[in-house]
Amino acid sequence: MESRMPSSKPKSRRRRSNQSVAELSRQKNHYKWSTIALLIIVIVLAFAMVNPFKPANEHFGSRLTNIDVPFSSQYLSIINNAPNSYFNTSALKLLNGSLTDEIIDTPPTLKSNHTFVVNGKPSVIYIGAISCVFCGENRWAMALALSRFGNFSRLYEGYSSFGDHDVPTVYWSKDNYTTSEGVGFGNYYNSKYINFISADYESPIVDGFEVQPLSYFVGQAPNATYRSAMSFMNSTNDFQGTPFTFWGTVLAPGATGIVFGNTTPSTSTLPLTNETHAQVLSQLKNFNDQFAWGEYAAADVYIAYLCPSLNNAPSVCQLQGIKDLESAMGV
């Protein structure tokens, strides 16, 4: 028995040792997969942090991925080279009541004795906010209207804020959509007829609508021309919110059109919210639905505001629809 006992104890120790190895292996595998799972969670959270413009509870498809990207030459051409016939047809539709979208929501304040001339040319002045849904919608109409008097060498893809319907829109220049506050001044527009002076209040796109008093724009102005233009707008005492624009001699204290789709929305859901820039521009190019007619009609209102200060010299001012619209609005 003495010869067997020493040989049996090592066997028992070997069995316990094998069991410990198996347990240790299971523990290692557990830690391995736990570590992998933790890494996956970290990667997902990191992606969410660097891509904050697609909240988990929202579905945007491919939207918001190209913010601040310059328009392609094809997109610019749709704005710069739209046929005058589109503007004429839309003006006539507006006058005969065949549009379903609401145009001229806020009547203009006529200021025939006010002008803002720089380098011998009258001015269009725009004050807005990148978070503002009505600014976002109206920049399409503004861009179309301004294209009749000059052209854009650059425009940028943008959106109103998540908290204000995040509609696809035009930015006049690259805007800072993450800053706590600031103003984006300037644009890439050239015209022999007019000056275009633009300013958009910048704030986080993930928040709601934000804007500052006009005195803030005056204080932030980058040069004497912009400071004078912002002071001029402030001096009118007609600021009611954004967009706030001036066209030659006409002050417009609000949007000229509420064109968010093929019908004026009756709920908080806006059809334009679900469209991409490509879809918006395709409609403007094809000109075969209420949305396109409404946008060109809103542009016509701006054109009719501006033409008298230019003695109706530009060719667009000679369109019958624009003449009739000027007469109907009393500008």
- Taking all residues of the chain, what is their mean pLDDT, rounded to a whole number? 84
Q: What is the pLDDT of residues 143-170, one digit of tens each?
A: 999 999 999 999 999 999 888 888 999 9
How far is 259 from 255, CA to CA, in rounded Å? 10
Each residue's pLDDT tens digit, 47-68: 444 444 444 344 433 456 689 9
- Which segments within the chain are labelled E, that is strand? 102-103, 109-110, 123-129, 151-152, 156-159, 168-171, 182-185, 189-190, 195-202, 244-247, 250-252, 257-258
**The residue to which tokens 């859901």 are assigned:** 269
Give the confidence band of 26 by pLDDT, cuts at 50, 70, 90.
low
Question: How far is the C-alpha of 56 from the C-alpha of 38, rounded, in Å?
Answer: 20
Strands 195-202 and 123-129: parallel
* Least confident range of 130-134, 172-176, 261-265, 277-281: 261-265
pLDDT digits (tens, 9 = 90+) for 224-244: 999 999 999 999 999 999 999
- What secondary structure letter does DSSP report for 126? E
In this prediction, residue 249 carries a pLDDT of: 94
Number of H helices, E strands in the chain: 9, 12
CA 153 to the chain's CA centroid: 18
Asked if the model's pLDDT at residue 78 lies above 90, the reply is yes
pTM of the complete model beyond 0.95: no
